Structure 1
């Protein structure tokens, strides 16, 4: 890091945790500036606000001497509402049309009153991070995906982010896939999130007689040759692959990069995803799409939020 770095304050807000950190102009999280608090569906609105306030204040206080704050980037679980920069995270029902950007801006303004504050859906931020310093470098038609507690996504087409009029373009987790009828919290049936997220994959395995409790347990069972665990990963991979094939048919993607905790459970999950894409054998513009694991560590969501500031030329305005 340079002696007098230009940094962005990044906030990642999701269904289980929120994190803030400073990220420099090369896409690196500045050491000693990363802070985390739990969120979760049992938290009330005041507790969620306090978690955000805590991590933001601590990251601001950790600003290195001589550093310049270029702006603030916020990646939030969706859906979001571009008009007013409001958020309604599906798995946090106490926040509906909550003014997350204003909460963060008010905290930062106490020390930096004039810096811009930009909010986008977390899936879009992940996509920006992969395009900047991850597995999608060199490609201009990219979908990023998060496969974790939920499933989210974002799009870069022709080198520019695509948000849509409400800010929710690329929300691949709520694309319905053929052959499935699992009910989804959004109101749909057969959404890929309702089938292939970590908790939903675990729930399906338990419904088949498996006795574990977590995605880590499921991965361990798979490694030991458990047939139900194997079927669970096959089922989830097929659903993700069908969604990717459909998205590629629609917008002609070069690469899809998948990150998130559950995506790391076993490499076999990617094998099943690619097999499902390959069934579109008559459409080489679909089967050409590369499906890659994230090139980033757990820093990806924060790097992506910071990219809203450091890579602002790519970010289409609301």
Structure 2
């Protein structure tokens, strides 16, 4: 049996696993992401996962971006100590193994295509809806990464050229309408008053989803607005690259029906061409493990 080392690097958590060619995890571990000296924490995690186990023959890394695939460098927004950091080379030197790198959302898409809700689909768009919105494409079974490794960055597709200015500098980006913080921001600006139950809850997307499920009209409208932005992006992506499946994960996807019901209805309204209307939308089945699974698959494909 052959094994690969899968690594998932985010602003709050480092995860690693020894994974076999069928996708089964032999050993795994996680650690909080430190603000400085991330490589020392990552090295310790790799040792924890690999020591005494079967030797892996390749490493796959999914990392928060932006990244430069050609150079193998990363500059995660939430990791200020890494700017243009040569992650691929540092991990290769640490492990002595062939090492491949992709964005965390691209690995999410690849993981869901391999083992999750998009298993065996012809062409898939994976979307992570959380603090921001990331994405990845798997076309004819292969990840589409792009020249610099940033293909599938659907959160910054413009669905309204005259719309709101996004934090990225663009205008009308999907993220400005459908990310967790922006759902809550719009709701608060439009009169939403969270129905706190006496606990220390935040006025965030989770509370907004709870209130939407209870019928709060502003909360419902916020998810309708976010779903319309997502639907426009999905229809545009489907028209451009003929995806057959969309898998949505991330914290906001936990809203369930208050997100997916309006999304299905609005997508049916905005999609016209038959092959666009045929796209199936699913909620992630792998959840937080999807990116790690995708990193493993990335390594297996590159061997």
Corresponding residue for 2:218?
228
TM-score after normalising by structure 2: 0.89
Deviation (angstroms), 1:93: 5.3
Report whether the alignment pairs 1:103 with 2:121. Answer: no
1:190 to 148, 157, 172: 172
> Paired residue for 1:136?
118
Find the partner of 1:58 among 31, 41, 45. 45
Q: Structure 1: how far apart are the matches of 2:11 and 2:53?
A: 35
**CA contact under 8 A between 1:90 and 1:185: conserved in structure 2?**
no
| Residue 8 of structure 1, aligned match among 4, 7, 18 | 4
Q: Which moved more, 1:219-228 or 1:301-310?
A: 219-228
**Residues 1-318 of structure 1: pairs in structure 2 closer than 5 A:** 6-31=2-27, 33-38=28-33, 43=35, 47=36, 49-50=37-38, 52-63=39-50, 65-92=52-79, 95-106=82-93, 108-109=94-95, 113=96, 115-178=97-160, 181-212=163-194, 213-312=203-302
Cα distance, 1:151–1:282 mapped onto 2, change above 3 Å: closer
CA distance in 2, matches of 1:123, 1:147: 10
**How many residue pairs were aligned?**
295
Unmatched runs of 5 consecutive residues or more in structure 1: 314-318
Q: Helix, strand or coil: the match of 1:165?
A: coil
Q: Within 2, Cα distance between the matches of 1:268 and 1:193?
A: 18
> What are the Cα deviations for residues 101-125 of structure 1, in whole angstroms up to 9, with x where unaligned?
233334x33xxx2x11111111211
Work out whether residues 20 and 36 of structure 1, in 8 Å CA contact, stay in contact via their aligned partners in 2.
no
Q: Assess if the C-alpha contact under 8 Å between 1:85 and 1:100 holds in 2.
A: yes
- Residue 92 of structure 1: CA displacement? 4.5
CA distance in 2, matches of 1:78, 1:277: 28
| Normalised TM-score (structure 1) | 0.85
